[in-house]
Structure 1
Amino acid sequence: MTVRRGRFEDLPWLVEHDDAGEGWIARCIQHGEYFVAERDGECVGFLRFSRFWGKIPYMDMIRVLPSHQCAGVGTTLFRAWESAMIEEGAQHLMTSSEWAEAEPQAWHRRNGFQAAGSIDFRIVQPSPEIFFLKDISGARKG
């Protein structure tokens, strides 16, 4: 399996598998905000991120095709993103999940994130959103 930054050639696949609109996906590709996992030349997952307050890398979405789940694809995508953010000099990583989503929260914790608070968005989703932070300030290379 290989992980690389998203490219415009990935746009049709990402539009099919990401919940974001095509314009937003294209914008994220242009800004280098996708990581794509490939196995045998086929896309099997992606990680999309942005920057909270314009500076803290925030993992917006990580998705792996059902046929490739529980095979390390998500963790490999996450590690590639984390390494890239360390190289860029980021101090922290941020992500979130719904309060009622125990499995994603467990995944975040296994990957070094700690709960940092929550916000009630029940006008758009059934349970509050819990935010997670990971301190990567001590992971600088060189």
Structure 2
Amino acid sequence: MRIVFATDSDYEYIRERDRHIVERLIGSKIMGKEIYMLRDEDESTIGWMRYGYFWDNTPFMNLIWIDEPYRGKGAGMQAVLFWEEQMRLSGFNMMMTSTQADEGAQHFYRKLGYRDAGCLLLDSQPMEILLTKKFS
């Protein structure tokens, strides 16, 4: 698998699949290098990862998506570890992410060293678990 920054040519792919971002923000995320594309050995896109900044100073992974046929084969872990290394090299010492309490992703993040840091309760959704990971 290869991990690359999204480019303008990835815009339509992201727009069609990422239901958790306002369309007008996709271009600025691409320009800001805040979306990684995951490609297989044939250069086909198998997923993406998008991040931003919590409080404008802490990297926050907003979304990671791996297409179904590629799940459970290490692509997600490879993408998260790649992102963490990029953030470490950029001078950050902590990252954040979140997942709903009814999603299995919380176990994935905990296996990667993320720790529960609190939760957010909204009227219409399950509890959102906030997770952090610090570099030693």
TM-score range, shorter chain: over 0.9
- CA distance in structure 2 between the partners assigned to 1:86 and 1:22 by the alignment: 29
Other structure's SS at 1:121 match: coil
Deviation of 1:115 after TM superposition, in Å, equals 0.1
Q: Which runs of 5 or more structure 2 residues have no equivalent in the other structure? A: none
2:94 to 92, 95, 120: 92
* Matched residue type, 2:27: A
Q: Give 1:67 deviation, angstroms.
A: 1.4
What is the root-mean-square deviation in Å for CA atoms of aligned residues? Answer: 1.0
Mapping of residues 50-129 of structure 1, within 5 Å: 50-101=52-103, 103-123=104-124, 125=125, 127-129=126-128
Distance 1:25 1:76 in 2: 23
TM-score, normalising length from structure 1? 0.90
1:71, distance to aligned residue in structure 2 (A): 1.4
CA distance in 2, matches of 1:71, 1:99: 23
Quote how far apart the aligned CAs of 1:27 are.
1.5
Runs (4+) of structure 1 moved beyond 3 Å? none
How far apart, CA to CA, are the structure 1 residues paired with 2:23 and 2:46? 19
User: Which residue in the other structure is 2:28 paired with?
Assistant: 27
What TM-score does the superposition give when structure 2 sets the normalisation length? 0.94
Give the superposition deviation at 1:121. Answer: 1.2
- Total equivalences in the alignment: 134
What is the CA distance between 1:122 and its match in structure 2?
2.3
Per-residue deviation, 1:21 = 3.1
Match of 1:11? 11
Residue 100 of structure 1 and its aligned partner are, at CA, apart by 2.0
Single out whichever of 9-18 and 20-29 deviates more from structure 2: 20-29
* Structure 1 CA distance for aligned equivalents of residues 107 and 12 of structure 2: 31
Q: 1:80 offset after TM fit, Å?
A: 1.2
Aligned identity (percent) is 26
Cα distance, 1:91 vs structure 2:
1.1
